[in-house]
């Protein structure tokens, strides 16, 4: 994965966390909780796609589809488990 691909992946994962935070009406602390979870999900999806040789919506070296699904899925799981953060 190239450096621009890493930067783009970080931006997309942060965007997913921000949108999830907006819809959940969370506090600033919850936003800083969701961003690392989203990044971990996105890069975990990248690793999973490389490991299983999946190519779903690939943008250059980024497995965008699998990374997005894993990032959003992990956000939803942690959003349900954590409850409201205050």
What pLDDT, on the 0 to 100 scale, is given for residue 86? Answer: 54
Give the tokens for residue 38: 């989203």
pTM of the model: 0.84
What pLDDT, on the 0 to 100 scale, is given for residue 85? Answer: 54
Question: Which residues make Cβ contacts (< 8 Å) with residue 36, sequence separation at least 6?
Answer: none
pLDDT classification of 55: cutoffs 50, 70, 90: confident
Would the CA dihedral through 14, 18, 24, 30 be positive or negative? positive
Query: Who has greater pLDDT, 75 or 54?
Result: 75
pLDDT classification of 1: cutoffs 50, 70, 90: confident
Span 6-35, average pLDDT: 89
Angle at 13 between CA 7 and CA 36, to 5 degrees: 100
Q: Where do the structural domains in the chain lie, given as residue ranges? A: 3-82
């Amino acid at each position: 994965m190239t450096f621009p691909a890493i930067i783009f992946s970080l931006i997309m994962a942060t965007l997913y966390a921000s949108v999830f935070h907006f819809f959940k009406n969370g506090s600033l602390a919850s936003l800083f909780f969701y961003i690392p979870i989203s990044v971990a999900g996105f890069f975990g999806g990248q690793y999973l796609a490389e490991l299983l040789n999946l190519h779903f919506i690939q943008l250059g070296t980024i497995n965008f589809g699998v990374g997005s699904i894993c990032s959003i899925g992990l956000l939803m799981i942690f959003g349900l488990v954590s409850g409201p953060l205050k």
